[in-house]
């Protein structure tokens, strides 16, 4: 009986997750755990970068900043927290800094950090999504569409990042976006 329950429980959990509601909030696309940098891993510097991302102190500080953004909506505080990590060369960190600057209306700074994130990981789906929203907010619908197509090629049209940006693109020009 115990063996049977060990086989059934994972299947039931999977079915429950698949059948559960889909989160559509834009911030749901992010993660409170950064992925290792995608930069060249053949150098000693890059190996050090990867190991520091898995450091428990770094992860705790990253999660705190993530919560500051998405639960506290304290973008200025989060920028300070993220910059204190001294790891804006990591796509997840740079993306959150860019997102925070965008939410504060500092579009030039936001752009710098989105581009840093894509420099580290050209396939960073959340950055393509958030930078696509940035493009929309700047009135660049064609560029936002390019970002949407990039997300489709990386994560598919069923991904939350794709659906979020597609929904924003469906709104008329000039509509205030809440993302």
Chain-centre distance for alpha carbon 114: 10
What is the widest separation between alpha-carbon atoms in the chain? 61
| Contact indicator for 168, 140 with CB cutoff of 8 Å | no
Q: Tell which phi-psi region holds residue 37, choosing left (phi > 0), alpha (psi between -120 and 50) or beta.
A: beta
pTM for this entry: 0.73
pLDDT by residue for the chain (179 residues), tens only, comes to 444 444 443 443 333 333 333 333 333 345 666 765 554 443 334 444 444 778 899 999 999 999 999 999 999 999 999 999 999 999 999 999 999 999 999 999 999 999 999 999 999 999 999 999 999 999 999 999 999 999 999 999 999 999 999 999 998 876 666 55
41-122 — its CATH code?
Answer: 1.25.40.10
């Amino acid at each position: 009986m115990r063996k049977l329950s060990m086989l059934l429980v994972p299947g039931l959990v999977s079915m429950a997750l698949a059948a559960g509601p889909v989160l559509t909030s834009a911030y749901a696309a992010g993660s409170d755990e950064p992925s290792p940098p995608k930069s060249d891993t053949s150098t000693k510097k890059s190996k050090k970068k990867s190991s520091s991302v898995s450091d428990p102190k770094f992860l705790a500080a990253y999660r705190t900043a993530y919560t500051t953004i998405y639960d506290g909506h304290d973008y200025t505080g989060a920028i300070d927290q993220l910059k204190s990590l001294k790891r804006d060369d990591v796509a997840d960190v740079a993306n959150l800094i860019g997102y925070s600057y965008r939410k504060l209306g500092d579009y030039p700074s936001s752009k710098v950090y989105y581009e840093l994130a894509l420099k580290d990981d050209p396939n960073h789906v959340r950055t393509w999504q958030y930078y696509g929203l940035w493009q929309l907010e700047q009135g660049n619908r064609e560029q936002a569409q390019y970002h949407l197509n990039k997300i489709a090629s990386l994560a598919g049209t069923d991904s939350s990042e794709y659906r979020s940006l597609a929904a924003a693109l469906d709104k008329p020009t000039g509509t205030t976006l809440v993302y």
